[in-house]
Structure 1
């Protein structure tokens, strides 16, 4: 009951002697410290807003410009105000005659400050526009790997000069160029080129006719509206992409949208579940503090050009995907949240992350997790499987939310979850890489992170931290708010902080438990039988979806990017070509292939598609199938395919991709009530092979030369098409590539383990073409 007493700041009773007022000094002290902490954050945000608003200038630069201008004027015996007050003083206007009340020296100082300020603002605007022009140049991307041209060197120097001395996290956002709108002619041309290897001659000629008709008639009209939006909006794609791809969908987001990230592959820092949770939660909160204070990590901007970091914003990283009574859903941002929600054995708890005006230390968070693990109370009726509502169809969840969670204790408890910084699941299963059973252990691990039991992850949150009983962990992330590299950046920070910087003592977090820490608050629910029926119905849908997922994860350790670079080939192009060869061997045909590429070189940029099944790649794959093809011919075709892939990747990154443009043209056509047979067919084509590379963005955090065991397993996602594959891969160090493959058991055409075997063989066959062993000898 101590926690309950401390929750009341004051009590009063009426007695014959008057009013008896009892104050709880501890509660008042916490209120004072909480307010102080809040005002500090407001001040920091205000200061950061000023610094970002005047970037690439600075308050120090303002002083330098004004003082230099005043000194120059004095040395040259000039009027610093450029005659401003003299003109005002000679004016007959009664409003301007106030300058007579100022002395001549005061007028000179004030005038000089005003003119100096104008000069400072002019310099800022010139620097900002020059920087925007510099960032619009992408010639550096066309340099050969490992070499830098003189033009690229000069460009890098100029970018550094005009970037200012100490840019903050979001300083470059106003200087980034807008995403360009490609021409309809170029988009149609590249689209036809991308589908040529997938269509028979008759089908291709038909599509060619539809494209020409669109390019001549409806296309220019739709393009005009897109051009208008590109001039007005920060990014002509991102808001429509977020709404129509993520927020308007009524199907389950579990498996179909959410993705996962894994723990270390070989390292197990501790076997105490509460301790691992303590360090991980503390590291995430430290990451949020860095974002809140806009502290720039050096690797975010170097050596590549500045990128849009909007998705790294605190309000984007910590949010809930909320439902409305009708689509679209909305995203509720939680940049002020001071608590987390914890799920364990069917119960939900609210855990405050601040005490005494400071962030809880890892050992104190571990203490809170220990209390939850020791709690023997039973779940309330319907509570255990409540999160199944977020795993099933969206419409029943929206209806149930409106009916059963709009008032009373249900609303308060739901708010506690949705307004939490993130959700933690203390899982009661054990998952990890088992060297004695590597295939099944990793497959089980991936499925647990992707969907779990379908009711022990709150799939609407920006991310769920899952800590298993044996102290391994992982993330399940919601996709609408950000793409995988953003959550990957956060996860790299957590993994680097956990075993080394935070560390453990005898398996526990460093430090001592807090003697007076109030415990976690158990959330209360009153779920009627009708609501429990909806929960069970959503769970049935979710389980059917989860049971159909066929996951296969395998570490490819035969070679890595070290040997691939010796082949003078891009590692990503090498892997993508290997995937095409593996898919052809797996299914006996080519398919439309999606590879995610980033457009973060532009303001509010997200992703673009690289259609990696090209004519050149197909020619190489066919040469590998034909036994009579000589090695030299295969190598030539491989080089052409790799160069083509690299060029397409560059086009996608520089805003010249085709799929986002076609998508936006389709959206405009629907707004105008126009039907386009061309756009309808383009947007209905299934991606039977969906691929993505998980980039390692902060290589300096992991010294894999000295500590090769600190390799991450990466992450993965569910299949996009019912009869297709989802493939995610992460290139770790010089000698390891981890593949995550997903498909559906219900499809007779797919088998994730069979595809994994084909990928391994394709990688080995392509490397064998270079005969590196013979060259070494």
Structure 2
């Protein structure tokens, strides 16, 4: 199919249509007006209709890579590229854009309104698992031929046709304006991706702690170290126990977690007191998580009340205050092992492990952190912030987070068996 595209039409896009997709990256109001003004009739409507009825958008990037994709700078480049692209080679309105780089590296850009990260993570996990098993000849005749090729049988397929557009000078101005806004926003995103190889979920569980709660405590310790204060912390939690369930918020920064991270900063505090407070904080975090996934969270309830107040034109100072507080630390764990086909054990090849995904900071003066337990002995962190904020640095926070993870492990290992047993836990 790709060969057909190259052979059938070798003309380059006109200047007016080259950055057309930037309309989906700019302000939503501007795109809405442009749709009704320039894309409601004729060839433009027909071409837009083809895109919007497609299952997904495919971007075949042609930019040659000059980074080492087996290093943090390389992973950070991939993360930023998949998140923003060049602001006109992603169709941000689509459910997802499948992105293929010149070397065969694949990623997604996902529009959030229709679904959440576990859905695309599940799909990516299946693809990776089938690829790995196919290479290992565990699926002969199903995905790979005996000679190792994946050409598959020749079938009759609908060949692609080039979409035609009638871009007026006024439409071109709108495209350029949207591109300028999107480019400025993309340029402010400071995204860093790091792999943490010291330990992973296996070690944490052997110590009797929740891996997610462990990371949440490390995040708060890192933030306190980085900013000398504790923020309002957002952690996304799934409500998939319910039909059409989406997410609920776990407000991870609690009185218990605050006491723990402050004890870690207090050089005079005893290891026994730290580990005891750590146990209280992680246990309470698990309690909040269980409440969130079982429909007992508070944030979606408050948001529904706010929507009702707007509909009924009732002023609610309390709801305005609560829902306007900035999430200076917004976090999310990327689910893994959903398919049952990816082994978290260390013997599964790194090439078939997902680095997870990320997002921009929710607050321009804060951080966005996504993390994935890619294997039992490792994690991957995506840290984002804004270059425009003089008080944040994704690189600095990522490094601080790594040290916080190590500090908590050192605290656990320095505590006596008796202290761990009394928290209670296993020694």
Q: What TM-score comes out, normalization by structure 1 length?
A: 0.51
Q: What root-mean-square deviation, in Å, do the aligned CA atoms of Structure 1 and Structure 2 show? A: 2.2
Residue 235 (structure 2) pairs with residue 595 (structure 1): yes
Instruction: Tell me if structure 2 keeps the 8 A contact 1:431–1:445.
Output: no
Structure showing greater radius of gyration is 1
2:62, 2:102 within 8 Å by CA — same for their partners in 1? yes
Question: Which of 622, 628, 631 lines up with 2:268 in the alignment?
Answer: 628
Measure, in 1, the Cα distance between the counterparts of 2:67 and 2:339.
Answer: 23
Query: Which of 313, 316, 328 in structure 2 is aligned with 1:688?
Result: 328
Q: CA deviation at 1:511?
A: 3.0
Q: Which residue does 1:511 correspond to in 2?
A: 152
- Please state how far the C-alpha of 1:772 moved relative to its aligned partner: 7.5
Partner residue, 1:522: 162
Q: Which residue is equivalent to 1:493?
A: 126
Q: State the Cα deviation string for residues 688-726 of structure 1 (Å, max 9, x = none).
A: 100000111425212344423221111111110010111
Does residue 455 of structure 1 match 2:83?
A: no
> Structure 1, residues 728-748: CA drift from partner, whole Å, max 9, x if none?
001122101110111100001
**Pairing 1:702–2:335 present:** no
Alpha-carbon shift at residue 495 of structure 1 (Å): 2.0
Alignment CA distance shift 1:703-1:680 (3 Å): closer
1:479 aligns with 2:119: no
- Aligned equivalent of 1:468, options 101, 105, 117: 101
1:242-261, aligned counterparts within 5 Å? none
Name 1:417's counterpart in structure 2.
Answer: 51
Matched with 2:201 is 561
Instruction: From the two aligned structures, give the one with the greater helix fraction.
Output: 1
- Establish whether residue 664 from structure 1 lines up as the match of residue 304 from structure 2: yes
Question: Could you tell me the TM-score, scaled by structure 2's length?
Answer: 0.91
CA deviation vs aligned residue, 1:455-497 (integer Å, no higher than 9, x gap): 0000000001000111101000000011111222222222223
Q: How far does residue 381 in structure 1 lie from its aligned partner after superposition?
A: 4.3
Structure 1 residue 681 displacement after superposition: 0.5
Cα distance change of structure 1 residues 447 and 506 upon mapping to structure 2, 3 Å threshold: farther
Quick check: 1:541 aligned with 2:181?
yes
Match of 1:241?
none
User: With CA pairs under 8 Å and 6+ residues apart, which has the higher RCO, 1 or 2?
Assistant: 2
Could you tell me which residue of structure 1 aligns to residue 397 of structure 2?
A: 755
SS in 1 for 2:385: strand
Alpha-carbon offset, residue 665 of structure 1? 1.2
Asked if residue 605 in structure 1 is aligned to residue 239 in structure 2, the reply is no
In structure 1, the partner of 2:362 is: 720
- Give the Cα–Cα distance (whole angstroms) in 2 for the partners of residues 387 and 739 of structure 1: 30
Which stretch has the larger CA shift, 680-689 or 375-384? 375-384
- Unaligned regions of 5+ residues in structure 2, if any? 135-142, 418-425
Structure 1 residue 383 corresponds to structure 2 residue 17 = yes
2:223 alignment partner in structure 1: 583
What is aligned with 1:132? none
Pick from 9, 28, 35: which aligns with 1:394? 28
2: CA distance, partners of 1:719 / 1:600: 25
Matching residue of 2:423: none
Structure 1 segment 4-15 matched on structure 2, within 5 A = none
Cα deviations across residues 140-190 of structure 1 (Å, max 9, x unaligned)? xxxxxxxxxxxxxxxxxxxxxxxxxxxxxxxxxxxxxxxxxxxxxxxxxxx
| Contact 1:413 1:525 (C-alpha < 8 Å) held by counterparts | yes
SS in 1 for 2:54: coil
Please state how far the C-alpha of 1:382 moved relative to its aligned partner. Answer: 1.7
Q: What secondary structure, in the 3-state scheme, does the structure 1 residue paired with 2:17 have?
A: coil
Query: Aligned-pair distance for 1:774?
Result: 9.0
Residues 495 and 759 of structure 1: CA distance in aligned 2, closer, same or farther (over 3 Å)? same
Aligned equivalents of 1:750, 1:619: Cα separation in 2: 24
CA distance in 2, matches of 1:712, 1:772: 33
8 Å contact kept, 1:433–1:442: no
In the alignment, is the contact (CA less than 8 A) between 1:552 and 1:752 conserved in 2? Answer: yes
1:164-243 matches, cutoff 5 A = none
* CA drift at 1:371: 2.1
Deviation at 1:373, TM superposition (A): 4.0
SS in 2 for 1:702: coil
- Whether the aligned pair in 1 keeps the contact of 2:144 and 2:152 (CA below 8 Å) is no
Q: 2:2 aligns with which of 369, 373, 395?
A: 369
C-alpha contact 1:616 1:644 (8 A) present in aligned 2: yes
Contact residue 220 and residue 230 of structure 2 kept, 8 A: yes
| 1:538–1:519 distance in 2 versus 1, CA, 3 Å | same
Q: Whole-Å Cα distance in 1 between the matches of residues 164 and 193 of structure 2?
A: 39
Q: Secondary structure at the match of 1:475?
A: strand
Distance 1:700 1:425, change over 3 A: same
- CA distance in 1 between partners of 2:260 and 2:158 (Å): 65
1:424 Cα offset (Å): 0.4
Moved more, 542-551 or 400-409: 400-409
Q: What is the number of residues matched between the two proteins?
A: 408
Residue 235 of structure 2 aligns to a residue whose secondary structure is strand
